[in-house]
Structure 1
């Protein structure tokens, strides 16, 4: 598994980080709002946010003195989807079916001279 995939699965391994991702699915949240949802200390939540950010699953932006976090859902979907397609035969079949449906007509035939 690539280092990026390892970072993602490490980030997903902890229930607090999975909950943070679920909380961010509805939109951007300030660090304080996220921390208020947990009984863990602020520094602990900050470390969890750092792990998620390092894995590329969340992004941050500053707004004055606040740090706002948002979900990078496509990274999560692509990484988990890629992993599943390598280990789950049904996913491999579904991926191939999707490729065929979205391929332009005639793309799988040899062009005539």
Structure 2
């Protein structure tokens, strides 16, 4: 449980969870939304994975990250993002990305 609270203590990691709320994204797609180095983003993704909040699935040469829907804390964060002034726009962007992905398939 300590890993989960440590993961959720970071604003960046909560934003990553918001971006993953409606669609899966590659590390590159996530990094496009942040001004940070790839190693720093990789560390944030690793912390979220170690906490069991996200998972990575290798598809071709890319790893696609998504929320672990069975994780209670991931579900609580997904719900609370609706009321967060910072998180809500990110969740809406995630829904738009999902819509665009589904229409291009």
Normalising by the smaller structure, the TM-score range is 0.5 to 0.7
Give RMSD over aligned pairs.
1.7
Are the aligned partners of 2:31 and 2:41 in contact in 1 as well (CA < 8 Å)? yes
Unaligned runs of 5+ in 2: 77-105
Q: Which runs of 4+ in 1 moved over 2 A?
A: 76-80
1:11-37 residue CA offsets vs partner (Å, 9 max, x unmatched):
001110000000000111111000110
User: Contact 1:11 / 1:51 at 8 angstroms: preserved in 2?
Assistant: yes
Q: Which residue of 2 aligns with 1:100?
A: none
Residue among 10, 16, 23 paired with 2:12: 16
Q: Aligned residue pairs: how many?
A: 76
TM-score (norm 1): 0.63
Q: Which has the higher contact order (CA 8 A, sep 6+)?
A: 2
Write the distance in 2 (CA, Å) between the matches of 1:41 and 1:78.
25
Assess if the C-alpha contact under 8 Å between 1:20 and 1:34 holds in 2.
Answer: yes
Tell whether the 8 Å contact from 1:8 to 1:76 is kept in structure 2 after alignment.
no
